Amino acid sequence: MTALGGGAASPGDYIYFKSVVPLHKISIGSKLWRYYDFGPKVVPPLICIPGIAGTADVYYKQIMSLSMKGYRVISIDVPQVWNHHEWIHSFEKFLDSMNIHHVHICGTSLGGFLAQIFAQYRPRRVKSLVLSNTFLETHKFAAAMPWSPLVSWTPSFLLKRYLLTGIRDGPHEPFIADSVDFVVGQVETLSREDLSSRLILNVNVASVGSLSLPDSFVTIMDTSDYSAVPQQLKDQVNERYPSAKRAVLRTGGDFPFLSRPDEVNLYLQLHLRRVGVEPRPDLVQGFTRGGSSGSSNDHEDGNSFDDHTRDDGHRSSGRDGRKTERSESGPPNSDGLVPTSIVLDP
């Protein structure tokens, strides 16, 4: 079987993912949380927070690949929260409901900003950060959207149109085009309230303050071709964390977790190993049909996640190694990952 994280192998296929990984929905107070949780529960989780146009589903390639290596991955939808303090309290209650005390967070774009805000105000809970195509402050977005006070009254189709204008039009190479198509499909599933709250979070004027988290526990993973986040804002992130590890993907567009999943998955493993997260592949191998073992899936060759995982099953977990390298090779595969990007030591 070939690359789980790439588009070719069936376990990397979204339909297959949906057939084996359960979607969870829980109400905490007035907030509905929609999330995937897959991997051994004994492993500290990597929580993935999508950007403004994403859902929990956009990280499905990371869930599939990392869980088979023994990591626990939780991918969430940002619930309907209307300011950054409400986000902090709501996310903390979500973690409490899951009995999760310490987390490693991977955030893209708006998700990366929210991850930093949470780390700023709840420093004891956040053990490391992976920040991708993200920013430190929202002033530029607020200035570009003077009609933001009217968001709550704007029809859904106009909000979707506005959201999608931030995604670069083609032509794209095939994998990037597929990633854009997938995200556009996810935007279509969002309600007007979902869209409104995300846009408001993106334009509420705020900035990330200093974090107590050392730079050595931060990885910055950006694409160097293009993204909806202006380069100036991405540069500010690099300047804020001068000693962070840097993973630069030469291509990948706005959604490298979909368009360049093998590279992203490798860098997530490198990050997790560096910050001390140990995977439990032994629990993955021991996974049972009922999902009772606390692991995520199947056999060592990765050929089965368990054909009939039920809606109440979960589990997975992850791990990685640390390395500084430059490769001129072609696309990687899951058996011998070779990045086509650069990891730079500060």
In this predicted model, what pLDDT tens digit does every residue of 63-79 receive, in sequence order?
A: 999 999 999 999 999 99
Position 285 scores a pLDDT of: 56
If pLDDT is split at 50, 70 and 90, which confidence band does 39 have? very high
Position 343 scores a pLDDT of: 52
Both tokens of residue 82? 């209307």
Mean pLDDT, the chain, integer: 83
Average pLDDT over residues 154-180: 88
Both tokens of residue 325? 């390298």
Both tokens of residue 148? 């933001």
- Bridge partners (DSSP) of residue 37 are 74
- Bridge partners (DSSP) of residue 49 are 107
Residue 42 has pLDDT above 60, yes or no: yes
Average pLDDT over residues 244-265: 96
What gap in Å lies between CA 202 and CA 137, rounded to an integer? 9
Q: Which of 12-16, 194-198, 214-218 has the lowest mean pLDDT?
A: 12-16
* Ordered domains of the chain (ranges, CATH): 10-344 (3.40.50.1820)
Query: What are φ and ψ of residue 223, in 5° steps?
Result: -90, 145
What share of the chain in percent tops pLDDT 70? 78
Residue 279 has pLDDT above 80, yes or no: yes
For residue 341, CA distances in Å to 9, 112, 345 come to: 22, 21, 13
Q: Are 275 and 293 in contact (CB under 8 A)?
A: no
Q: In what side-by-side order are the strands of the sheet with 126-132?
A: 23-28, 31-38, 73-76, 46-49, 103-108, 126-132, 218-223, 245-249, 342-344
Both tokens of residue 287? 């996974």
Question: pLDDT digit string (tens) for 212-248?
Answer: 999 999 999 999 998 999 999 999 999 999 999 999 9
- Bridge partners (DSSP) of residue 315 are 38
> Within 10 Å of residue 328's Cβ, how many Cβ atoms?
6
Position 148 scores a pLDDT of: 83
Average pLDDT over residues 85-96: 98
What gap in Å lies between CA 106 and CA 130, rounded to an integer? 4
What gap in Å lies between CA 339 and CA 216, rounded to an integer? 21
Q: Provide the whole-model pTM.
A: 0.82
What gap in Å lies between CA 246 and CA 220, rounded to an integer? 5
Most confident of 14-18, 115-119, 161-165: 115-119
Most confident of 146-155, 286-295, 319-328: 146-155
Residue 337 has pLDDT above 70, yes or no: no
Position 320 scores a pLDDT of: 37
What gap in Å lies between CA 31 and CA 78, rounded to an integer? 10
DSSP state of 35: E
> Within 10 Å of residue 311's Cβ, how many Cβ atoms?
10
